[in-house]
Amino acid sequence: MTKIAVLGAGKIGEALLSGLLTAGRRAADLLFTERHPQRAAELTERYGVRSVDVPAAAEEADVLVVAVKPQDIEPLLDELEPRLARRDAAGLPRGLVVSLCAGLPTGLFESRLPEGTSVVRVMPNTPMLVGEAMSVISAGRHATEEQLDLVEELLGSVGKVRRAPEGQQDAVTALSGSGPAYFFYLVEAMIDAGILVGIPRAMAADLIVQSAVGAATMLRGAEGHPVMLREAVTSPAGTTIAAIRELEKHGVRAALLDAIEAARDRSVELGRAHDIGSATDRA
C-alpha cells in the first residue's frame, strides 16, 4: 500500500485524513505532522494515525501532502530538502509532493527540492470538511499520469476532482477555492434581510440554509445553464423579478466579477512573493 503523510494537520489536513480512512485506507498507511503536541495526541486518539516529525514523514512516506499555510512553507521546505534525496532504480527522486497551499506554484517546490521531484499542485476548498470538496489538480514538470491518477483517487475520497493547466490555478483559487466564502457572505446578507422584513433570526437562517441546499441540489442535477433555473422562479411582474431588478441596479453581478478578479490577483501575488518568476505562467 502507498504510505501517505499529511504535513500540517489543520482543518483541511484533518479532513483529508478522515476522508482517506472513510474511503478504506488503513491507519497504518497514514502519517501526519502537527506542531502542537496536544492536538497531535487528540488526532492520534481520534483516528489511530501516527504523528511524526517532518524528517520522519519524508523518510517513510511515498506521498507527502503539504497542507501548511503559505507563510509556513519556507521552513518546511528547509526540512524536506535534505530528506528527499532518495533515488529509485531509474535515478529519480522517490515519492510525490502534493501541495494544498493556496497560490504557491509547483516551481517553488521544484526549485527548492531535489532535481526531478514530482509535484502536483491542488486547490481544494473547505467543503472538504464535509466530504464535498471541489479540488483542482495540476501537474508539475516531473509528475506522471499515474501520479495524477493517484492524487485524483486520494482527493476523490473528500469530494469532486478536476484537472487544469497550472496557468489556471490562480483563477481556480479565486473561483472555487474562495467560492464557499462568497456563498456564506450571501447567506449572511439574506438572513439579515429576513430579520429586516420581520422574520426571527433562527427562522430566517433555517429558511435560507435549506433554500441554499435545495438550490445546490437542483444545480448539480441540471443539464442547462443556471439562468434556466432562475427563470423558472421568475414570474412576469412577480416578486422575484422585482428583487432581481434591485440586484442589477446595485451592481451585484459586477461586484462579484470584480471580487473574483481581486482574489485571483492576490493568489498571483502569493506566488510571486516567493520569487518564482514565470512558474505560474506554465500551462
Q: Are 14 and 34 in contact (CB under 8 A)?
A: no
pLDDT of residue 276: 47
Low-confidence ranges of the chain (pLDDT < 50): 276-283
Q: CA 246 → CA 50, 192, 197, 251, distances in Å?
A: 55, 17, 16, 9
Q: Which three cell numbers stand for residue 198?
A: 420581520
Helices 201-221 & 179-196 angle (0-180, nearest 10): 140
Buried b (16+ CB within 10 A) or exposed e, 212-247: eeeeeeeeeeeeeeeeeeeeeeeeeeeeeeeeeeee
Q: Which three cell numbers stand for residue 233?
A: 422562479
User: What is the chain's length?
Assistant: 283
pLDDT of residue 278: 39
pLDDT of residue 89: 59
**CA nearest to 177, candidates 105, 107, 103, 106:** 103
Q: Are 32 and 5 in contact (CB under 8 A)?
A: yes
pLDDT of residue 277: 42
- Both ends of the chain: CA-CA distance in Å? 32
pLDDT of residue 1: 65
Give the separation between CA 234 and CA 223, rounded to whole angstroms.
Answer: 19
Q: CA 235 → CA 67, 134, 190, 225, 251, distances in Å?
A: 47, 33, 21, 18, 22
Q: Which three cell numbers stand for residue 32?
A: 501526519
Give the separation between CA 132 and CA 127, rounded to whole angstroms.
Answer: 5
Buried b (16+ CB within 10 A) or exposed e, 154-165: bbebbbebeebe
**CA nearest to 144, candidates 111, 96, 89, 83:** 96
pLDDT of residue 203: 98
pLDDT of residue 85: 73
Domains defined for the chain, CATH in brackets: 4-164 (3.40.50.720), 178-250 (1.10.3730.10)
Residues 49-71: pLDDT tens digits?
Answer: 999 999 999 999 999 999 999 88
